[in-house]
Structure 1
Amino acid sequence: MDVKESVKALQSKIGVEPDGYWGGLSQETLEDSYRLDFDFTEFKKVFKVSSINQGFVDGVNGLFAAFNDYKELDSNNPLYVAYMLATAYHETAFTMQAITEYGGVRYFDKYDTGRLAERLGNTPEADGDGYKYRGRGHVMITGYGNYKKFTDILGIDLVKSPDLALDPIVSAKILTIGSLKGTFTTRRLSQYIKYGLNYNEWVNARRVINGTDDNKAIADYAIKFLQCIETVAVQDSAVCECCGQSI
């Protein structure tokens, strides 16, 4: 199934004329009456895997919890969700678990001094910053500069305790905020993924995370993940006239 057919399928589920163009009407209808969920059975079919473990399921569910927390950033746009899922899938070696970048201390010395260290916000001295602030999470935030950014955003001291980026909730928030606000590279998903119709939208979206590294592979994952996104109708809850609480 191509992108247009996947979008048509989503539109049909929410009662919008299926034209394969995810525009304002589709998004508004979704936001008014539906929430996004994930179809694990469809994932196995689309990605041609016979089984998935509980860690994978928990990882995906954790990411959706973060997406639901940042709707003011359009984190419930299914096109963005598909791309963020693809990013996590690729960066975590297909586990959907927050992980630490592979390599020993000597491997990360390249981030400790010189131009790479400067670009990442590490100190110019050979003091171990390269290893201390190595990649972690669903998206491999790297370097003192990025850990400081998300320390300020989340109010969690990732500078002092960088392993906190491995907490699944923290990591999912970093992926979501960084992708939608442009915190990683100053570029946001909304700058690239418009309506989902053009394959190059998905390829170029990698610039939000890491230049052009593996951009086509991740674009292909994103298009597959779009097929796995489910919509669930949300019923309006009654409100008590006395206290204003949902009942």
Structure 2
Amino acid sequence: MKQHVVQSGDTLNTIAKQYYVDVRRAKDIARANGIKNPNQIKVGWRLVLPNVSPPQTISATSPAKPKPQPASKHKTEGIRITESQLAEIMKTTAEMTQYCEAVNTCLQHYNINTPLRAAHFLAQIAHESGGFRYLEENLNYSANALKSMFGKYFKDDRLASDYARQPHKIANRVYANRMGNGNERSGDGWRYRGRGLIQLTGKTYYSQYADDRQVDVVQTPNLVASDPMLATDVAGWYWDSRALNQYADNDDMRAITKRINGGHHGLKDRQFYLNRAKNALGV
């Protein structure tokens, strides 16, 4: 049986990615080696790499850890999006092939199983990610933008100027002491900044997702922005956690946007994508 000697910087997630191309295999490695705390492995440990079949992860035919879904008037007949349909909706230079599989897996797992539900989901992730082009939060703000958007944290010109165009510092200030993050010096604000097609933000939500989906994004949060399957699944998880299918069934874009955005920012763009999605899916 193949083994791996732990090197400096290794985590169970990176080892799983290296040998199985699937970070979700980390739990198999932990189980095979009797590791109770996957966050505490030591350099020099010789780990057995189990030759087991892939776990039931975010798969279109075998969804992992099914969750109760809100009651719906629709039957669960399911829907699949083709690559050409996805490209028609997004109209972007992003690579569609890798996202097509991820989207279909997500639709299956989170019961986004009618053309109308899928149209609303696709419209929201299209707006939030700029058509799959942006998988993590852009915090490169000018001083004026900081005062406009985060006036609570930047109340004068001097302070705003001190932080301007420094994304690390900005994130650590505006996300400090909330959403499960530590203080500004902890670095949690930057570490757990927004990532994914609907952005996962804050240590609390990274931890909740990790617990629900058995993917250790707390220790390796960058995976959410680097793995298209994870980036998409995070969006589905958020959608499901807010029971947004019921609003999609009512064709209520404003209600969905409110629960994703906290307001109605970008409503015109979201409507633009919704119209495209409905047209592509024949709604």
Counterpart CA distance in 1 for 2:236 and 2:204 is 18
**Matched residue, 2:232:** 172
**Matched residue, 1:58:** 98
**Matched residue, 1:78:** 115
Q: CA deviation at 1:60?
A: 3.4
Contact kept in structure 2, 1:88 and 1:138, CA below 8 Å:
yes
Classify 1:98/1:67 alpha carbon distance in 2 versus 1 (closer, same or farther; 3 Å). Answer: farther
RMSD: 2.8
Counterpart CA distance in 2 for 1:191 and 1:142 is 24
Contact kept in structure 2, 1:134 and 1:141, CA below 8 Å:
yes
- Partner of 2:79, secondary structure, is strand
- Could you report, residue by residue, the CA deviation over 1:38-74 in whole angstroms, capped at 9, with x for unpaired residues? 3626954x77x5xx54613432342122212x1xx42
- Could you report, residue by residue, the CA deviation over 1:50-101 in whole angstroms, capped at 9, with x for unpaired residues? xx54613432342122212x1xx4221222211221122112222x256221
Match of 1:202 among 229, 253, 274: 253
- Partner of 2:199, secondary structure, is coil
Contact kept in structure 2, 1:109 and 1:130, CA below 8 Å:
yes
Q: Which runs of 4+ in 1 moved over 3 A?
A: 41-44
**Matched residue, 1:218:** 270
Q: CA deviation at 1:217?
A: 2.3
Q: CA deviation at 1:149?
A: 0.7
Counterpart CA distance in 2 for 1:78 and 1:110 is 41
Classify 1:41/1:127 alpha carbon distance in 2 versus 1 (closer, same or farther; 3 Å). Answer: closer
Match of 1:92 among 110, 125, 129: 129
The two structures have a TM-score, normalised by structure 2, of 0.56
Aligned: 1:160 with 2:252? no
Contact kept in structure 2, 1:83 and 1:219, CA below 8 Å:
no
1:116-195 pair list within 5 angstroms: 117-118=177-178, 120-166=179-225, 167-182=227-242, 188-195=243-250
Number of residue pairs the alignment of both structures matches: 183
Contact kept in structure 1, 2:123 and 2:271, CA below 8 Å:
yes
Counterpart CA distance in 2 for 1:75 and 1:98 is 23
Q: CA deviation at 1:229?
A: 2.2
Tell me which amino acid in the other structure corresponds to 2:269.
A
Highest CA radius of gyration, 1 or 2?
Answer: 2
- Extract unaligned runs of 5+ from structure 1: 1-22, 183-187, 232-247
Tell me which amino acid in the other structure corresponds to 1:37.
I
**Matched residue, 2:82:** 38
Contact kept in structure 1, 2:197 and 2:235, CA below 8 Å:
yes
- Could you report, residue by residue, the CA deviation over 1:174-230 in whole angstroms, capped at 9, with x for unpaired residues? 111210232xxxxx213423333xxxx112211231212223421331232122127
